[in-house]
Structure 1
Amino acid sequence: MIAKRWLKHTAAGLLDSFVSRNNDFIGYWAPGVLYTETRATGMRVELDLLRVVAQPGTPASVAAAQYWSGYLRDALHRHGSGVDDLQTATVSLAFGLPPLPLPSYYMCGGEPFSCSVRLVSRCGDSVEREAVRSCLPHLSHDGRRSTRYRA
């Protein structure tokens, strides 16, 4: 059984890592690639990290479900728990949100998207974390790959 404070810690770490600039898919920023892939399918992505499935089942979302399921498993293991202690573990992304008012010094462009992580333990404790960030759709002819990517 996982303590609620570790559930909160795991959800916050998962969310922060998912929206960070180091979350990449084949060398490109994963949220931008997910945005591009979902423009034709409703502007939403739902990753079920326990069943390791993604809706819609695009290549980037399936790869994200697999990777982040492993991340969750490792994070829970560090707290002495496992995925068996959870009944729900989802990451949800919504693209195409209305523009946000930004301060004049804000240098990042793009359109807002929200990312939320929801974890529910077997004993009924529920934790949800959400972040709103900005991104542009991935354009395969524009941009550079991450230096961490090895083809």
Structure 2
Amino acid sequence: MARRKEFKTIAEGLVNSFVSRNNDVYYWGIGKLYSHMVTSGSMKLKIDLVHRIMEPQNEEFKLLIDEFATRLIIQIGKRGLKRDYMRKAKLTVIGYPNEPSPYFGRMASNRVNCK
């Protein structure tokens, strides 16, 4: 049971770092990912941190995926957990386009959900 709580804590920390506007990999990485969602025509991104791949694929985000996969492995090691206990580690980003608001002007008021 304790292992599951530890993995949940690691996952929450990774998601919080991932959605931060200063995530140490990209400044406003979420905005870049949202732009990729729009241009690819898919409003859902799946990032597999175990296999270090993203769907839909874009090589521009290889550094971001590698960085977060490495952070995951480091956190597992710091907590003394076995990597074999981790079956999968995926970040899912879903974009929800909103109608433009006159209040925001030319800025997009789009939302993203990350889990």
Instruction: Describe the superposition over 1:114-142 as per-residue Cα deviations: whole angstroms up to 9, x where unpaired.
Output: 000xxxxxxxxxxxxxxxxxxxxxxxxxx
Shift >4 Å, 4+ stretches: none
Within 5 Å, which residues of 2 pair with 1:67-86?
67-86=67-86
Quick one: percent identity of the two aligned structures?
Answer: 25
- Number of aligned residue pairs: 106
Consecutive unaligned residues of structure 1, counting only runs of 5 or more, are 100-108, 117-151
The CA RMSD over aligned residues, in Å, is 2.2
> Cα–Cα, structure 1 residues 60 and 43, in superposed 2: closer, same or farther, change >3 Å?
farther
Tell me which residue corresponds to 1:65.
65
Q: Which runs of 5+ in 2 are unaligned?
A: 100-107
Higher RCO (CA < 8 A, seq sep 6+): 1
More strand by share: 1
TM-score by length of 1: 0.62
Q: 1:83 to 1:56 in 2, by over 3 A?
A: farther
Does the CA-based 8 Å contact 1:55-1:61 persist in structure 2?
no
Q: Is the 8 A contact 1:34 1:60 kept in 2?
A: no
Query: Which of the two has greater helix per residue?
Result: 2
> Amino acid of the residue matched to residue 54 of structure 1?
M
TM-score, length of structure 2 as denominator length = 0.79
